[in-house]
């Protein structure tokens, strides 16, 4: 009987290990799909609210949900240094990145195009990680990153640059720099902070950040349509809690270069979604770019595990 219990316990441990391995393999693909829906959902909500106003509503909902999770889970809270690091990471990862993306789309930049500049993140992340975190990026990994860059250019070639493109490009540039620095900062200073406590602190800071911006620069008018409500719920629950939690889990498990390389797939998936939902162009050259992005991610991640 004792032997049977021992065998059952070993079998259960093996099942748990297999499940963890399966989850680790599936997590990158799930992350890319979820992250890409953020650009699509943002385009929907901006029909009924200005960017910072919508983001304030989204963050208030996220803070409420995370507060409930934290009250139930009772996580260990960081010290004041941890709180400060969480605030900085939150403003970078959520504040300027989400704000820049929303402002770009609000200025009539197509959803697929709004993913272009943040899609360059792996190049910038690899450069900084090589110098800041001491991560070694091999020549073949650099080749993979450059292939991904070429794929991004192919995907978005010939797309319209109108719609107050200057402000849109500036906002996208801000989002690129902020998500890159935020990813590295999170890995360097916030890896040991419980995700429930850390995320709640980050989102409280970001809610204040967006609310201040909306009060200063926007009219705060909201049309509470069914489409707006459902889109905000999706963006708050699936994106701000689900995909961000998954991103931080990937950051803890992987090198910054490997995680950043996943962002090469986001413009491709976003372009495909935008083609289906909004009729944004998807031609053979764009498809070739998608293949290049996928090859780049495979190359960078495979070499990072080698």
Q: Tell me the pLDDT of the chain (306 aa) as tens digits.
A: 555 555 545 555 555 565 556 666 777 888 888 888 988 899 899 999 999 999 999 999 999 999 999 999 899 999 999 999 999 999 998 999 899 989 988 887 777 667 766 666 766 777 676 666 666 777 877 887 788 788 877 876 766 555 566 777 788 888 888 988 888 888 888 878 888 899 999 999 999 999 999 999 999 999 999 999 999 999 999 988 888 788 777 877 766 667 767 777 787 788 888 888 888 776 787 778 778 877 877 777 665 555
pLDDT attached to residue 206: 96
Backbone phi and psi for residue 279, each to the nearest 5 degrees, phi listed first: 75, 15
Rounded to whole angstroms, how far apart are CA atoms 201 and 190? 12
The DSSP symbol for 238 reads I
Bridge partner residues of 222 (DSSP): 49
The DSSP symbol for 222 reads B
- As given in the structure block, the two tokens for residue 108 are 């009539």
Residues 6 or more apart in contact with residue 88 via CB below 8 angstroms: 185, 189
By C-alpha distance, which of 251, 257, 246, 266 is closest to 301? 257
The DSSP symbol for 118 reads G
pLDDT attached to residue 186: 86
Rounded to whole angstroms, how far apart are CA atoms 52 and 304? 38
What global pTM score does this model have? Answer: 0.77
pLDDT attached to residue 264: 74
- Look at the block and give the residue holding tokens 């996208």: 172
pLDDT attached to residue 301: 64
Rounded to whole angstroms, how far apart are CA atoms 110 and 274? 8
- As given in the structure block, the two tokens for residue 289 are 């770019």
pLDDT attached to residue 7: 53
pLDDT attached to residue 190: 86
pLDDT attached to residue 22: 63
pLDDT attached to residue 14: 57
Rounded to whole angstroms, how far apart are CA atoms 144 and 293? 9
pLDDT attached to residue 29: 82
Backbone phi and psi for residue 222, each to the nearest 5 degrees, phi listed first: -130, 130
The DSSP symbol for 75 reads P
**C-alpha angle 79/83/85, rounded to 5°?**
115
Backbone phi and psi for residue 200, each to the nearest 5 degrees, phi listed first: -60, -45
Measured CA to CA in angstroms, residue 223 lies from 46, 48, 54, 239 at distances of 10, 5, 10, 22
């Amino acid at each position: 009987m004792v032997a049977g219990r021992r065998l059952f316990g070993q079998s259960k441990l093996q099942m748990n290990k297999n499940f963890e391995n399966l989850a680790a393999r599936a997590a990158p693909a799930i992350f890319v799909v979820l992250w890409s829906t953020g650009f699509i959902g943002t385009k929907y909500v901006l029909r009924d609210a200005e960017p910072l106003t919508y983001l304030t509503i989204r963050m208030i909902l996220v803070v409420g949900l995370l507060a409930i999770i934290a009250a139930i889970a009772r996580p260990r809270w960081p010290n004041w240094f941890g709180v400060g690091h969480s605030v900085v990471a939150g403003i970078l990862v959520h504040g300027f990145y989400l704000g820049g993306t929303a402002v770009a789309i609000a200025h009539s930049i197509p959803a697929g195009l709004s993913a272009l500049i943040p899609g360059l993140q792996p190049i910038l992340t690899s450069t900084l990680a090589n110098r800041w975190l001491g991560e070694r990026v091999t020549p073949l990994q650099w080749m993979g990153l450059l292939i991904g860059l070429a794929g991004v250019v192919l995907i978005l070639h010939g797309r319209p640059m109108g719609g107050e493109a200057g402000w849109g490009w500036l906002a996208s540039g801000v989002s690129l720099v902020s998500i890159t620095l935020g990813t590295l900062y999170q890995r360097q200073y916030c890896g040991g902070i419980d995700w429930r406590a850390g995320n709640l602190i980050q989102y409280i800071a970001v809610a204040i950040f967006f609310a201040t911006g909306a009060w200063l620069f926007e009219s705060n008018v909201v049309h509470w349509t069914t489409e707006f409500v459902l889109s905000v719920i999706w963006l708050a629950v699936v994106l701000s809690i689900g995909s961000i939690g998954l991103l931080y889990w990937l950051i803890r498990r992987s090198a910054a270069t490997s995680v950043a390389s996943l962002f090469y797939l986001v413009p491709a998936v976003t372009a495909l979604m935008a083609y289906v939902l909004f009729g944004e162009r998807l031609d053979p050259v764009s498809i070739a770019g998608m293949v290049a992005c996928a090859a780049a991610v495979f190359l960078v991640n495979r070499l990072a595990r080698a």
